[in-house]
Amino acid sequence: MADSITYHHHRSHDYRRSITQFVFAHQIILTFLWTVGFLLIFIWQRSAVDRVLEYRRWAIPSRPIPKLRSLVLDLRDFGAVGDGYTLNTASFEEAIKEIKKRGGGQLNVPPGNWLTAPFNLTSHMTLFLAQNSVILGVDDEKYWTLMPPLPSYGYGREYPGPRYGSLIHGQNLNDVVITGHNGTINGQGQTWWKKHREKLLKHTRGPLVQIMWSSNIKITDITLRDSPFWTVHPYDCKNVIIRNVTILNPLSDAPNTDGVDPDSCENLVIEDSYISVGDDGIAIKSGWDQYGIAYGQPSTNILIRNVIVRSMVSAGVSIGSEMSGGVSNITVENLLVWNSKRAVRIKTAPGRGGYVKNITFRNITFDNVRVGIVIKTDYNEHADEGYDRNALPVIDSISFSGVRGQGVRVPVRIYGSRDIPVSNVTFKDLLVGISYKKKHIFQCSFVQGRVIGKIFPAPCENLDIYDENGRLVKQATSDNSVDADYDA
């Protein structure tokens, strides 16, 4: 038996040695065969992916462009070249001139990268951006027209004197539509931001899209990105709809790239949109200090709903700080603000004048924001030294209901002042999970208002407490409490 075991052991050892010798002797051949096999598998996989992509191209064709006006023009018919290098300003201008001549029409921007300097729209016009079409703004400021300062700002916002116009611009228009199959308007703002930081510009940067003194405006189903300055700026307009838009600017190092800035506008809706920007997501304005007071055109009847916003620098939705013409009758509902510095904010200062009143926030969600609700009355940035220091704004009738949140450092900070108290603030159904355990996480000063029902965290002592049936449970014991320990 021992001899048998020894025999089998030697035989097994000889077998393994022969296999090893075979492998070493034929290493080059085996390596070659392995390499060929790998390449065959790679080629097969790649051809399979190509077949899938080819199938998708066949099965999911480009969406046909709808005919939205009786006259439909194609940008290519005016000599435009969508290679991203050819300047197509003249093509846009000639096409829009033809639309104006014929009383209205639709300009189709087909797939491609259409580089252009700023151009002006006309009334009764639809600008349609096809699937995979991109309007690119030329990033050399010498191509951007200089315009007078906005009359309700009187300055230039960043520098005295003229300002740069917008990439897509319109004045005194009626019935204008900018829409598409999620085509893109790209302002190529990187050069602008760098020059602004290095103080190489002599004039205020221009918005991406600015429509002024116009009515019946629709901006829908497109993407806007990398704006030099504010992205969409309706100025003194009526009956404006902004729906199903995506606005993308870098979250940092892209200064003043607000998403949408309704400015002295009436009857405006922003809905069903996603905004991720380097400043305020939405900022409602109405002029700056004495210039806004003199212009006297408020922002009123504005609805913001079903919007997701991210802003690591500023706030999801702001009112002000330029609100000297007044802001009233604003409803913000079904809003999600995530991974941001602030969620909603009202900001003003002595010298602004005007008012912020009848503001409703309803069904608001904060997800990982530093400060949830902010009202700030010392935002002391002024156009010039000519403002009236006795022009004190009024803040009245602000309500918050259905507020939810998690990962919030300070849920509420309302800082009125002796000169600018905050009146008639209402909180109902507020439940916010906090990430900051210090005592004062609901901060107030010079504020008067009420809490209806139970809320978390506990409110400040400035507010009256009512039960769900409207009966007074506890009267406010202070109008000026708590010191802040951070910048909001």
CB atoms within 10 A of CB 136: 22
Q: What is the dihedral of CA 446, 451, 299, 329, to 10 degrees?
A: -140
The radius of gyration of the chain's CA atoms, rounded to the nearest angstrom, is: 30
Q: Could you tell me if 321 and 350 are in contact, meaning their C-beta atoms sit under 8 angstroms apart?
A: no
| Angle between helix 27-59 and helix 2-25 axes, rounded to 10 deg | 60
Using CA atoms, how far residue 75 sits from 97, 112, 357, in Å, is 12, 11, 46
The tokens describing 335, both together, are 């809003």
E-assigned strands of 191-326? Answer: 209-212, 215-220, 223-225, 232-235, 238-243, 246-248, 266-277, 282-284, 299-311, 315-319
Q: Which of 183, 187, 182, 141 is nearest to 164 (CA)?
A: 141
Q: Which of 279, 280, 289, 367 is catalytic?
A: 279
In the residue annotation, 279 being an active-site residue is answered as yes
Buried b (16+ CB within 10 A) or exposed e, 357-382: bbbbbbbbbbbebbbbbbbbbebeeb
Q: Which of 327, 438, 310, 323 is nearest to 377 (CA)?
A: 323
Place of tokens 């315009």: 147
Residue 305, strand partner residues: 271, 333
Write out the catalytic residue numbers.
279
